[in-house]
């Protein structure tokens, strides 16, 4: 897909009858803040490399593809990319199959608009992780903890290779280090430690923290051992997700963000079908195991607890953008920042819910000048935040383009953006304003 000036792209879309947001402004919030729960945990799982929703949470039926008569340059057609299950209006693909038994626990958000100007992995990954289109912006868990004024919240993380955007939040812990804690707090050299050297001072602080966290660390080590069986995996990236879950379940971590797949695992410019069928399915298979584990595990392994780890935790599963519907290099797919999907479950999430949508446009429908685009376009559908539903083609064509990107009277028409999702999560955590994004509409059906 060739890069286009945003104004040219929007104008071309308008000329062909499509409606895109003309405004970079986000509407003012018109929804009330929710009361925060007494204690909540947050886990963000990132599938690096750009997943293919058409093989998972936003598939198409064979009947639709046959009726649409897409050319081979507009849709990379194979059986693995067609729907294998219809669920409450959603069409689900083969890679989503491991999660089918937990669909009533999962909220699926389709049609998430990413950075229209950039198809770079890192740019959109940061956008999806922060809710701010500007690169270098604090990732959401750290911004949320700061907004909650909870510097005591320890946040775990695992990054594949990029720089962690922690916003100078100090209480952080690499998930790979969670296996290194000993329950023994006695140190034969403690009596000779002083504050004259940095190393000695640091060691005293470590001993003090270990003493304070002794019971928590005991529970952490037990949970790590349990996950070795319940959440076993030979994939080192996936193992980090299990460690993060153990950290949360022990109360050692309050939030965590983990890169669960490598960039190269899903960046399928070649061999798309076989690679996504293997790697994306593997990732979702582990997510399904995590849901089962969370439902069966009391928080802090306390048998008297009335809450499981699933009850306590909100899990958000993301990627940086979708893959294109059209083929690249015969067996591959390109980057597609014009739509994305997101999964949420646990805690107060309204499971069994489908939010948003997308559409696959033929090249003839786009009517772009000067052959700006040589293929079709897999694109997010504009969203009506008043009705909380994606707009139909008829609604789009009858709505003045000036009405998009603004909220007034009983109309609030725009796209679902990454910040829309994070804004909604923040409000569920009792926070109405987070530094990484402005106020604006939320998805009222995402939480109970």
- Please tell me the distance from the alpha carbon of residue 160 to that of residue 234, in angstroms, as a whole number: 16
Average pLDDT of the residues of the chain: 87
Q: Please give the helix or strand (H or E) that residue 124 lies within, else none.
A: helix 121-130
For 288-387, where are the E strands, in sequence order? 313-318, 322-328, 332-336, 341-345, 353-355, 358-361, 377-380, 383-384
Q: Please give the helix or strand (H or E) that residue 279 lies within, else none.
A: helix 272-296
- Please tell me the distance from the alpha carbon of residue 435 to that of residue 61, in angstroms, as a whole number: 41
Do 235 and 280 touch, CB atoms closer than 8 A? no
Residues 84-115: tens digit of each pLDDT? 999 998 899 999 999 999 999 999 999 999 99
Q: Please give the helix or strand (H or E) that residue 237 lies within, else none.
A: helix 236-249
What DSSP string runs through 363-387?
Answer: HHHH--GGGS-SS-EEEEPPEETTT
Q: 6-175+251-428, what's its fold? A: Alkaline Phosphatase, subunit A (3.40.720)
DSSP code at position 53: G
Do 433 and 439 touch, CB atoms closer than 8 A? yes
Chain-centre distance for alpha carbon 428 = 16
Mean pLDDT of 249-258: 97
Q: Please give the helix or strand (H or E) that residue 285 lies within, else none.
A: helix 272-296
Nearest residue to 141 (alpha-carbon basis) of 32, 46, 47:
46
pLDDT at 11: 40
Nearest residue to 88 (alpha-carbon basis) of 391, 411, 355, 286:
355
Chain-centre distance for alpha carbon 287 = 13
Nearest residue to 177 (alpha-carbon basis) of 145, 218, 211, 224:
224
Maximum pairwise Cα distance, the chain: 79
Mean pLDDT of 390-406: 83
Question: Per mean pLDDT, which range of 76-80, 129-133, 290-294 is the poorest?
Answer: 76-80
Kindly give, in sequence order, each residue whose CB lies less than 8 Å from that of residue 60, ignoring residues fewer than 6 positions away. 54, 81, 82, 83, 91, 360
Residues 403-448: tens digit of each pLDDT? 777 777 667 899 999 999 999 999 999 999 999 999 999 999 999 9
This prediction has a pTM of 0.87
Question: Kind of pairing, strands 322-328 and 332-336?
Answer: antiparallel
In the numeric block, which tokens belong to residue 320?
């940086």
Residues 31-65: tens digit of each pLDDT? 233 333 368 999 999 999 999 999 999 999 999 99
Do 399 and 383 touch, CB atoms closer than 8 A? no
Find the helix packing angle between 272-296 and 236-249, rounded to 10°.
20
In the numeric block, which tokens belong to residue 257?
């963000």
Number of neighbours of residue 22 by Cβ within 10 angstroms: 17
Q: How are the residues of the chain apportioned to helix, strand and coil, as percentages rounded to the nearest 5?
A: 40, 20, 45
């Amino acid at each position: 897909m060739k890069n286009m000036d945003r104004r040219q792209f929007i104008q071309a879309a308008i000329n062909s009858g499509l409606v895109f947001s003309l405004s970079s402004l986000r509407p003012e919030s018109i929804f009330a803040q929710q009361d925060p729960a007494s204690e909540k945990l947050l886990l963000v799982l990132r599938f690096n490399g750009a997943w293919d929703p058409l093989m998972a949470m936003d598939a198409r039926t064979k009947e639709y593809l046959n009726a649409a008569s897409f050319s081979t340059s507009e849709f990379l057609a194979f059986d693995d990319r067609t729907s294998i299950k219809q669920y409450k209006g959603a069409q689900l693909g083969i890679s989503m199959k491991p999660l089918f038994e937990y669909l009533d626990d999962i909220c699926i958000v389709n049609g998430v608009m990413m950075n229209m100007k950039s198809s770079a992995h890192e740019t959109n990954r940061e956008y999806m992780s922060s809710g701010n289109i500007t690169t270098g912006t604090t990732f959401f868990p750290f911004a949320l903890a700061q907004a909650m004024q909870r510097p005591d919240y320890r946040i775990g993380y695992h990054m594949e290779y990029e720089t962690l955007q922690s916003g100078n939040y100090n209480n952080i812990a690499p998930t790979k280090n969670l296996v290194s804690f000993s329950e023994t707090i006695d140190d034969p050299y403690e009596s000779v430690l002083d504050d004259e050297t940095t190393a000695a001072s640091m060691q005293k602080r470590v001993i003090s923290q270990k003493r304070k966290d002794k019971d928590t660390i005991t529970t952490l080590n037990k949970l790590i051992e349990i996950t070795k069986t319940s959440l076993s995996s030979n994939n080192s990236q996936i193992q980090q997700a299990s460690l993060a879950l153990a950290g949360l379940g022990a109360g050692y971590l309050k939030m965590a963000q983990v890169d669960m797949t490598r960039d190269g695992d899903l960046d399928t410019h070649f061999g798309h079908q076989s690679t996504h069928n293997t790697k994306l399915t593997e990732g979702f298979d582990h997510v399904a195991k995590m849901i089962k584990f969370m439902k069966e595990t009391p928080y802090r392994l306390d048998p008297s607890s009335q809450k499981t780890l699933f009850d306590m935790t909100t899990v958000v599963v993301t990627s940086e953008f979708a893959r294109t519907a059209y083929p690249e290099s015969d067996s591959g797919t390109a980057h597609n920042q014009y739509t994305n999907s997101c999964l949420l479950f646990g805690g107060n999430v309204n499971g069994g819910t489908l939010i948003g949508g997308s559409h696959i446009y033929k090249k003839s429908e786009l009517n772009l000048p000067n052959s700006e685009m040589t293929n079709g376009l897999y694109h997010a559908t504009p969203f009506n935040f008043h009705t909380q539903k994606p707009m139909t083609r008829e609604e789009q064509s009858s709505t003045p383009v000036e009405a998009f990107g603004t909220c007034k009277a009983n109309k609030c028409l725009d796209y679902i953006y990454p910040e829309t999702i994070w804004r909604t999560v923040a409000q569920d955590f009792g926070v109405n304003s987070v530094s990484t994004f402005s106020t604006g509409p939320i998805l009222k059906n995402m939480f109970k």
